[in-house]
Amino acid sequence: MTSRSYLYYPGCALQHRSHAYEVANQAVAAELDIELVELDDWNCCGATEYFTINRLPAYALVARNLALAAGQDGGDLLAPCSACFLNLYKTDRHMKQYPALAAKVNKALDAGNLHYEPGTVRVRHLLEAIITDIGLDELRARVRRPLYGLNLAAYYGCLIARPYPVFGSPEQPTMMDRLLEALGANVVPFSLKTYCCGGHMTQISEESAFEMIHRLIKNAAESGADALVTICPMCQLNLDIYQDAANKHYETNYFVPAMFFTQTIGLALGLAPDQLAFGQEFVSFAALIEKIQDAPPPRTRPERRPKQALPMPAMPEEV
Amino acid sequence: MTAIRTPTLYQQVVDSTPDGHRLDICLQCGTCGGSCPSGGDMQHTPREIFALLRAGYDDEVLRSNTPWYCVSCYACTVRCPQAIPITDLMYTIKQQAIARGYYDQHAAAKFSETFVGFVEQRGRSFEFGLATRFHLFHHPLQSIRLGMVGLNMLRHNRLALRPKSIRQMEQLAAILNKAKELAAKEMQA
Amino acid sequence: MDDRRVGVYVCHCGHNIAGTVDVEQVAEWAQRLPYVAVARHFQFMCASTGQELIEEDVRELGLTHVVVASCSPLMHEKTFRNACQRAGLNPFLFAMANIREHASWVHPNDRDGATAKAKALISAAVSRVLRQNELEPIRVNIHPATLIVGGGIAGIQAALEIADAGHHVYLVEREPSIGGHMAMFDKTFPTLDCAACILTPKMFDVGTHPNVTLLTYSEVENVEGFVGNFQIRVRQKARRVIEDLCTGCGTCWEKCPIKVIDEVFEAGLGYRKAIYRPFPQSVPKYPVIDVENCTYFRTGKCRMCEKSCPAGAIDFDMEDRIIEFEVGNIILATGYKLFDCRRIPQYGYGRLPNVYTSLEFERLTNAAGPTGGKVTLRDGETEPKSVAIIHCVGSRDRNYNRYCSAICCMSSLKFAHLVKEKTGAEVYNFYIDMRPIAKEYEEFYHRILEEGTHFIRGRVAEITDAAHTAEEEGKTIVVAEDTLLGRQRRIPVDMVILAAGLEPQADAAEIGRMFGVGCGTAGFFTERHPKLDPVATMTEGVYIAGACQGPKDIPDTVAQGAAAAARVLGVISQREVTLEPIRASIDESRCSGCRICNALCPYNAIEYLEAEGVSRVNAAMCKGCGTCVAACPSHVITGAHFTFEQVMAEIDGIMVDVYSESPTAPLAEIMA
């Protein structure tokens, strides 16, 4: 396999709050011969907050990163955080779509001796790059510890599914489902796979946030998931550190660890838990590792439908 | 009962949102309101906000908690049968609320402000500072419980006590200042 | 100057032209163009008074040519040609300048510009008309037979109207039986009479009518010719059942061991055998063998149907049959296809078992359907206690189809009634706007209101199985904003019916191309005029009826079927049809016989005469498209009414100096 190189925009969350994600990304990248070259002197993407306060500076804030990336010329720009991904992607796209906006943003960038020509940097999410560029077959071949026996719910959250359909369906994407299957796990049907994690509502209205978090952990648990697999530090944060509080609020006791997808890949590639920063999570992964079996569980026969049952419509892979 | 109103906010919101003019073709079908994960806690559903906006109830729109409860999940945007950029319109309404001095009423506005403050100082966000400053100022009671979460995060090595800054802070500051200057001009026009 | 005298008439078209173009000034200016004897402006040239103006001037002023500056020739060229003819002028000495679509409508905010453009267009028409020649229309006989494509209720109605009037009809249907979607329904709104009871007698009549040749399990493969004289080729797929021997007794499908999901007639909700007849009242009554699923065709073994057939009617070796015939007119009645609800994943169709489509529900509630008419959940036995009906699925939505599908409000009301009647369940109808807009429809809506159906005004956001509260556990939850309350509502129900929209058939564009019929933005066939000519098309002799033209319910579909038949009967009764004499002709004395034109002609109207070594145009088949004229390397093909001189004169005329006091086309003298 040839090694691949990308520009990498880790984003603020991965510095501390979700440092485990960063550790896992680096470990998995090394294992897959991927070079992640950090974008030099990148700044915050503004999350969902800056656009609230002032639109133009928000675009300029993001565009500085794009301009730096264009200057550094290191390949596609990968973001592991959904919010960072969307802000970078959207700013590039809006600048391309609205030349008047692009002109203003560039006027601002000019104050810092920078310039960005919309369309020059291809912004991608880490998950999509791994699936598209490495490919599931390659990944499958590299699995050393298949995740047999693990029931996982693929949780996409909002910002990579919407508003731009870079991941297929904005409602029921299947990209990560296929990835987790390739790792040997059993992927449970998870109705709320693109439902919001609550975002910043934990800071604004706990009641609202708990309701959203609770819905997710409840539905995941009821779907038979041993864990949720996430691709966004915000989702992981809400599901993980607020799981206990959400449980208390609703007087329930769901226990659904939320794992970063690179931690899941790393586990299947045979990396040790401490190489993947296990233990930084609030809802412990320990029991999950115990659950992995040596052989694939026997295939359960699909439940026999009663004779009078009406046929279900056939479903294509993804519509 | 009020007489016919002259909507002023509507045009401004629509004009300063990419593709915002699509709001003209809103059918008031309620797909946005039904899709909103925090819609249950909003004072008005997004659809109602747009109806109020169109009818010129500017004050009610700017006072509403609705845009501040938007979690930016874009569910409404992708489902809207008229392809109206609802999430982006919510951002614009929030900016208008701040610009027109309705800012004090919303905790969310302060959260955003605090966040942006850190970014403007250091180029990066800083959770510990954000959480402490925001909550100590605005939710002193809640901050005790959240303090527990914070301690727990520290224990799990997930909170940095000292903020990091980017190297070329002056460059970023210059860019943001210029952008703010341009934005202010935009507002006046 | 010779004695040619042109009359120019500038139409106000009410406000349409005069609102933007200064018609008075234009007429005054046109008066000064060479050869123009009179130039007038008038409020409505197409009105009888306007036409009489032309007639009087021709007679009294001795006009030799006429130009009307008004709307598109598609609209009124015929009108003014007829006026010329009545005044004794050859109608082809008339030209039209389109100063509405090409000037006033497209430059509504530029009065001076539009006025200048109108002058240039008139100058072009004058310059051209002076070089036009007298032409005589071509008359051809009309073949009295008619081809009808599609055996749904529209095609059936049209076929019966024409056949009853004594003319022959070929009715071609793709499926093994006629009947279309209507045959799948149980009840029809607003009267709730049984669909089968009102449809099957008509199906039977078509099947037995002496004037109808019924070609089921067949598709049109090729169409050639023109109005009055179409040559049709149909492929009749092999039934592998000999119709002359088969009695339709049903032993074969009883014995057939292969069960297949019936995606067509049962909408995927029921089964059929590998040898099957879609439904008991099928016309014709003979089954077909589905080769893809038949064990014999897959493995070479079985032959259960052959062994069991008491009449010896099974013929595994039967082959497709090609049938060719001539007709004078064609009616397309190819119907619609249902919107694929899987395209809206948040509605859960295909994922959540108890979400049905409207067609599935039609089968569910049909006494001849898979449950014998019992309304049940997907398990086939549990009766629902609560049902949600979702309007506008895939319609009125820019992500899917922008248009309103017209029938869903009423069929959703019908479903509400049927559910209540059969199960007593609570029914929730989610709608954006109620549109019960035809006779007795509003009354039907009121009846459903009285029956206690809950109406929630709000487009459904999502349908989910993710329960949030105890009462939602195990239910299918419909989430919407109740826009009349301004509240989010989650309604847990046992069953959901999606009132899916109507779409053009998947192959509508292809069929359209074959018959020379265009498709609009939504993909439905385009009528000649949306208001005044709803069943004709831009191709003479080809008509459309029913849902292939746009979503419509049964009453409107039947009306269109009958309307198309009336148009066809009108053409047949004329016995002959007049064709535009705008045809290509080849100067055979100068033709080199290179045959480039032969292959390029889209209508196969050019034949090569081996003996003479030249090509010749068949005037009856030529449509005057001009392809050969442009392609001929020797420039010896001429298009009548579009000669080189005429086209050049028109171009010369348009380059007039519109600001000149004594306007003249720049090259007029040289050209003349």
**Residues B122-133: tens digit of each pLDDT:** 888 876 666 656
Three-class secondary structure of residue C9 per DSSP? strand
Q: In Å, how far are A222, C8, C394 from C474, measured between CA atoms?
A: 11, 78, 27
Fold for the domain defined by C584-639: Alpha-Beta Plaits (3.30.70)
Amino acid at A115: H
Give the contacts of C27 (CB within 8 A, at least 6 positions apart).
C8, C10, C39, C40, C41
Query: CA–CA separation, A88 vs A92, rounded Å?
Result: 6
**Which residue has tokens 């420039």?**
C635
Which pair of structure tokens corresponds to residue C381?
């036995």
Compute the distance between CA of residue B93 and CA of residue B90 in angstroms, rounded to an integer: 5
Which whole number is the average pLDDT over B19-33?
Answer: 96
Same domain, B65 and B120: no
All residues at 6 or more sequence positions from B62 whose CB lies less than 8 Å from its CB, including other chains: B9, B93, B96, B97, B100, B102
Contact status, residue A299 vs residue A148, Cβ threshold 8 Å: no
CA–CA separation, A59 and A20 (whole Å): 29
Interfacial C residues in 361-380 facing A (CB < 8 Å): 364, 370-371, 376, 378-380
DSSP letter assigned to residue B17: S
- Distance from the first to the final alpha carbon of chain A: 32
Looking at the fold, whether B75 and B137 belong to one and the same domain comes out as no
Q: What percent of chain B has pLDDT over 90?
A: 54
Distance CA B111, CA A182 (A): 41
A257-294 tens-digit pLDDT: 999 999 999 999 999 999 999 999 999 999 999 999 99
- Enumerate residues 6+ apart whose C-beta is below 8 A from C544: C331, C332, C333, C517, C525, C527, C535, C536, C537, C560, C564
Task: Please indicate if any CB of chain C lies within 8 Å of the CB of A295.
Answer: no
The residues facing A259 across adjacent strands are A229
Question: Does residue B74 fall inside a structural domain?
Answer: yes
Considering the domain delimited by C146-229+321-335+505-576, tell me its CATH architecture: 3-Layer(bba) Sandwich (3.50)
pLDDT band for C158, please (50, 70, 90 cuts): very high
How many residues are there in chain A?
319
What is the fold of C6-137? Rossmann fold (3.40.50)
- Residue C665: beta bridge partners? none
pLDDT tens digit string along C438-468?
999 999 999 999 999 999 999 999 999 999 9
DSSP state of C11: E
Percent of chain C with pLDDT over 70: 99
Which of C483, C489, C490 best probes binding to B when mutated, by most B CB atoms within 10 angstroms? C483
Per-residue pLDDT, averaged over C277-292, amounts to 96
CATH superfamily assigned to domain C338-503? FAD/NAD(P)-binding domain (3.50.50.60)
- With both helix axes pointing from N to C terminus, report the angle between B127-138 and B142-155 in degrees, rounded to the nearest 10: 160
Pairing mode, strands A34-38 and A4-8: parallel
CB contact under 8 A, C345 and A316: no
* Domain end position, chosen among B78, B102, B126: B102
Instruction: Summarize pLDDT for A125-137 with one digit per residue, the tens.
Output: 999 999 999 999 9
Q: What is the pLDDT of residue A279?
A: 94
**Which helix (H) or strand (E) segment is C585 a member of?**
strand C584-586
Using pLDDT thresholds of 50, 70 and 90, give the confidence band for residue B4: low
Q: Are A127 and A175 in contact (CB under 8 A)?
A: yes
Give yes or no for a contact between C144 and C169, defined as CB atoms under 8 angstroms apart. no
Fold of A4-126: Glutathione S-transferase Yfyf (Class Pi); Chain A, domain 2 (1.20.1050)
Same domain, B61 and B114: no
Same domain, B116 and B95: no
Model confidence at B82, pLDDT cuts 50, 70, 90, reads very high
- CB A310 to CB C376 under 8 A? yes
B152 pLDDT more than 60: yes
Which residues in B lie closer than 8 A to residue A52 (C-beta atoms)?
91, 94-95, 98, 108-109, 112
User: Which regions of chain A does DSSP assign to beta strands (E)?
Assistant: 4-8, 34-38, 77-79, 123-125, 151-154, 186-187, 227-230, 258-260
For residue C6, the cross-strand partners are C36, C65
DSSP character for C274? S
pLDDT surpassing 90 at residue C619:
no
**Chains in contact with B, counting 3 or more C-beta pairs less than 8 Å apart as contact:** A, C
Secondary structure of residue C394 in the 3-state scheme: coil
* pLDDT value, residue B132: 59
The list of chain A residues with pLDDT below 70 reads: 1-2, 317-319
Whether the Cβ atoms of residue C150 and residue C173 lie closer than 8 Å to each other: yes
pLDDT of residue A318: 45
Is the N-terminal amide bond of C190 cis, ω within 30° of 0? yes
A280 to chain B, any CB pair closer than 8 A? The answer is yes
pLDDT score recorded for residue B142: 58
CA gap A312, C351 in Å, rounded:
9
Boundary residue ending a domain (B102, B127, B148): B102
Q: By the 8 A CB rule, do C554 and C182 touch?
A: yes
How many domains does one find in chain B? 2
Q: Classify burial at A251, counting beta carbons within 10 Å of its beta carbon; exposed 0-12, middle 13-18, buried 19 or more.
A: exposed
Q: What is the pLDDT of residue B146?
A: 62
State ipTM.
0.93
Where do the structural domains in chain A lie, given as residue ranges? Answer: 4-126, 145-291
Model confidence over B9-23: pLDDT tens digits? 999 999 989 999 999
Residue ranges of B 27-86 with Cβ closer than 8 A to chain A: 37-38, 40-41, 68-69, 71-75, 77-78, 85
Q: What is the DSSP letter of A131?
A: I
Q: Given B72, B149, B152, which is nearest A199 (Cβ)? A: B72
State which residue of chain A sits closest to C465, comparing Cα positions: A191
Residues of chain B contacting residue A214, judged by C-beta atoms under 8 Å apart: none
Which of C399, C457, C488 faces B81 most closely, judged by CB atoms? Answer: C399
Strand, helix or coil for residue C224 = strand
Residue B2 has pLDDT above 70, yes or no: no
* DSSP codes, A5-66: EEEE---GGGGTTTHHHHHHHHHHHHHTTEEEEEPTT-----TTTHHHH-HHHHHHHHHHHH
Q: Cβ separation of A61 and B164 shorter than 8 Å?
A: no
Tell me: pLDDT of C263 over 70. Answer: yes
The DSSP element (H or E) to which C461 belongs, if any, is strand C460-464
Binned at pLDDT 50, 70 and 90, residue B149 comes out as confident
Can you give the residue range of the structural domain that contains B140? 107-188
Share the mean pLDDT of chain C. Answer: 95
The pLDDT of residue B147 is above 90: no
Q: Tens digit of pLDDT for each residue in A9-33?
A: 999 999 888 999 999 999 999 999 9
At residue C1, the pLDDT reads 60
Residues 479-498 of C with CB under 8 A from B: 479-483, 486-488
Q: Please determine whether the domains at C6-137 and C146-229+321-335+505-576 fall in the same fold group of CATH.
A: no
A199: nearest CA partner in chain B: B71
Q: What pLDDT, on the 0 to 100 scale, is given for residue C128? A: 96
B37 contacts chain C (CB < 8 A)? no
Amino acid (one-letter) located at C484: L
C-facing residues of A in 155-194 (CB < 8 A) are 169, 171-172, 189, 191-192
pLDDT per position as a tens digit, C57-82: 999 999 999 999 999 998 899 999 99
Q: What is the pLDDT of residue B136?
A: 55
C547 vs C621, which has greater pLDDT? Answer: C547
Domain assignment present for B161: yes
The C-alpha atoms of residue A228 and residue A240 are separated, in whole angstroms, by 10
Residue that is last in its domain, among B102, B136, B157: B102
| pLDDT tier at C508, thresholds 50, 70, 90 | very high
pLDDT value of position C671? 60
Given this model, what pLDDT does residue C253 score?
97
Are B13 and B71 in a shared domain? yes
d(CA C627, CA C643): 13
CB neighbours of residue A137 within 10 Å: 9
The full set of domain ranges for chain C reads 6-137, 146-229+321-335+505-576, 251-308, 338-503, 584-639
- Architecture of domain A145-291 in CATH? 3-Layer(aba) Sandwich (3.40)
Find which of A156, A193, A310 to mutate to test the C interface (most C CBs within 10 Å of its CB).
A310
pLDDT confidence tier of residue C40, bands split at 50, 70 and 90: very high
A-chain residues near C378 (CB < 8 A) = 309-310, 312
Chain C interface includes A306 (CB < 8 A)? yes
Tell me the average pLDDT across C224-237: 94
Q: Do A316 and C342 touch (CB under 8 A)?
A: yes
